């Protein structure tokens, strides 16, 4: 059964994130018609945890398993804003359009592909159809090696450069300011199944700031992401729970801290997923 592809694992595809929901690039099993993700804030009172809904998002899919609509909702289910997606015959996203709660167009993104289906350009337009930005992509073979963002006047804003290992797995991704100076860097390690094992983060001086470790069960399904600080001290753990069809049912986040002379795990956040099959 195909499992969720978590957004954090899609780090080297050069996709510019315009979705209203952070980390929204998740693909469920093909028999899902839609799902609603509800985020909760967590508070502790008198030693007990209480959760309160803080945000809600709805994702709708066609019969091919392609997402066709992504909406940000009020807690009672009303649309705040949404994105719609269009595809070509090869399954590539050709356009994304953002709307407000009155169906007014806020922006639109047009993607361009070459004859082999490789994405070469992404152009964003504002509500008046004026070009506001453009991303250009360069490849070595099938590997994306450069992603450059320009504003609507053609001035460079930033650049991402990707390098790969002998297995064509992304090894490093570096982001640069328009001046050419480093903004940040990520380095990646993989397990024997070519699943992401570790992501290390560096600042604009190349100094290590944190790392994430990815853990899987015996079925190669992601179960946990553990985050360590620059001193290699664990401070955050995120757990993934799945339903019988292999779709994420719950994401639970714990902060790790030293309190009263011992290490404690404190519930910090939670997300629930509800599916329509």
Q: Which tens digits make up the pLDDT trace of 29-76?
A: 778 999 999 999 998 877 788 899 999 999 999 999 999 999 999 999
**Residue 191 contacts residue 169 (beta carbons within 8 Å):** no
Listing DSSP states for 67-106 in one string gives EEEEEEE-TTS-EEEEEEEEE-TTS-EEEEEEEETT--EE
Residue with tokens 């002998």: 166
Q: Which tens digits make up the pLDDT trace of 135-178?
A: 999 999 999 999 999 999 999 999 999 999 999 999 999 999 99
Rounding to the nearest 10 degrees, give the CA dihedral for residues 256, 258, 262, 265.
-20
Average of pLDDT values for 77-103?
97
For residue 217, CA distances in Å to 29, 234, 236, 237, 241 come to: 19, 20, 19, 16, 11
Residue-range domains of the chain with CATH: 7-276 (2.40.160)
Asked if residue 238 has pLDDT above 60, the reply is: yes
User: 116-120 long-range CB contacts below 8 Å, 24 or more apart?
Assistant: 117/90, 117/92, 118/142, 119/14, 119/92
Asked if residue 13 has pLDDT above 60, the reply is: no
pLDDT the model gives residue 26:
63
**Residue 27 contacts residue 5 (beta carbons within 8 Å):** yes
């Amino acid at each position: 059964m195909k499992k969720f592809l978590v957004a954090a694992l899609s780090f080297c595809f050069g996709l510019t994130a315009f979705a209203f929901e952070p980390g929204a690039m998740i693909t469920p099993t093909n028999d899902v018609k839609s799902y609603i993700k509800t985020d909760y804030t967590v508070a502790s009172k008198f030693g007990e945890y209480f959760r309160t809904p803080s945000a809600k998002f709805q994702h709708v899919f066609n019969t091919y398993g392609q997402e066709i609509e992504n909406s940000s909702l009020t807690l009672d289910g009303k649309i705040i804003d949404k994105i719609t997606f269009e595809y070509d015959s090869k399954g590539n996203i050709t356009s994304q359009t953002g709307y407000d709660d009155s169906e007014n167009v806020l922006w639109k993104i047009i993607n361009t592909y070459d004859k082999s289906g490789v994405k070469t350009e992404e152009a964003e337009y504002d509500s008046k159809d004026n070009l506001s930005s453009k991303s250009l992509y360069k490849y070595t073979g099938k590997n994306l090696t450069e992603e450059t963002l320009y504003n609507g006047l053609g001035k460079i804003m930033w650049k991402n450069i990707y390098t790969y290992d002998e297995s064509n797995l992304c090894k490093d991704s570096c982001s640069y300011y328009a001046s050419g100076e480093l903004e940040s860097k990520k380095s990646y390690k993989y397990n024997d199944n070519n699943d992401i094992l570790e992501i290390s983060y560096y600042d604009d001086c190349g100094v290590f700031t944190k790392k994430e470790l990815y853990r899987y069960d015996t079925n190669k399904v992601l179960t946990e992401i553990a985050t360590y600080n620059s001193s290699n001290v664990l401070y955050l753990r995120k757990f993934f729970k799945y339903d019988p069809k292999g779709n994420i049912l719950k994401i639970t986040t714990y902060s790790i801290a030293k309190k009263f002379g011992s290490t404690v795990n404190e519930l910090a956040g939670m997300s629930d997923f509800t599916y329509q099959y």
